[in-house]
């Protein structure tokens, strides 16, 4: 229903119309629940872009929308974008909600988690994706075969001394 409403409303309503932004938000949450993270991330980005145009940079609604979009990107595997949005949301919510609010405390934990994952991603993208797949499938991590040149280098690195 949301997709049909958006298809009909987009030609008529401005990209900053609050009802259109709410439809983006709703459809994004549904898509994330159904684990269609690419669509959910795109819709949440459109929602945040609209909110950025109509709200003050330190508005609480903008901060919460940015937080939801950051989490959606993070869940979708877009760690760099997700981490940036979570950090931006944290900065906004520190101003609007304060450091002792439960949402801000949860967001601080998320920010640290995304930062660690982002560092891992930058160090070894292959291991990051392997760990992510294992976590999403709720299975222990197994290493898939890496390209042969990397395997050969690893074998040569860890050979026994005779």
What are the tens digits of pLDDT across the range 120-142? Answer: 888 877 777 777 777 767 776 66
CA angle 69, 70, 74 (to 5 degrees): 115
The SS3 call for residue 11 is coil
Q: Is the pLDDT of residue 76 over 80?
A: yes
Q: Is the pLDDT of residue 64 over 60?
A: yes
Q: What's the CA gap between 132 and 151, in Å, rounded?
A: 21
Q: At what angle do helices 18-33 and 60-75 cross, to 10 degrees?
A: 30
């Amino acid at each position: 229903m949301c997709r049909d409403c958006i298809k009909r409303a987009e030609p008529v309503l401005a990209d900053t119309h609050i009802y259109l932004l709410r439809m983006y938000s709703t459809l994004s949450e549904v898509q994330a629940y159904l684990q269609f993270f690419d669509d959910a991330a795109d819709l949440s980005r459109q929602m945040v872009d609209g909110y950025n145009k109509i709200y003050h940079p330190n508005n609480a609604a903008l901060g919460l929308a940015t937080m939801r979009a950051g989490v959606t990107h993070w869940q979708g595997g877009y760690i760099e974008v997700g981490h940036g949005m979570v950090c931006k949301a944290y900065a906004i919510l520190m101003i609007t909600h304060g450091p002792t609010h439960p949402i801000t405390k949860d967001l601080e934990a998320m920010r640290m988690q995304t930062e660690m994952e982002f560092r891992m991603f930058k160090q070894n993208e292959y291991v990051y994706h392997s760990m992510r797949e294992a976590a999403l499938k709720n299975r222990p991590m197994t290493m898939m075969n890496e390209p042969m040149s990397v395997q050969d280098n690893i074998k040569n690195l860890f050979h026994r001394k005779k």
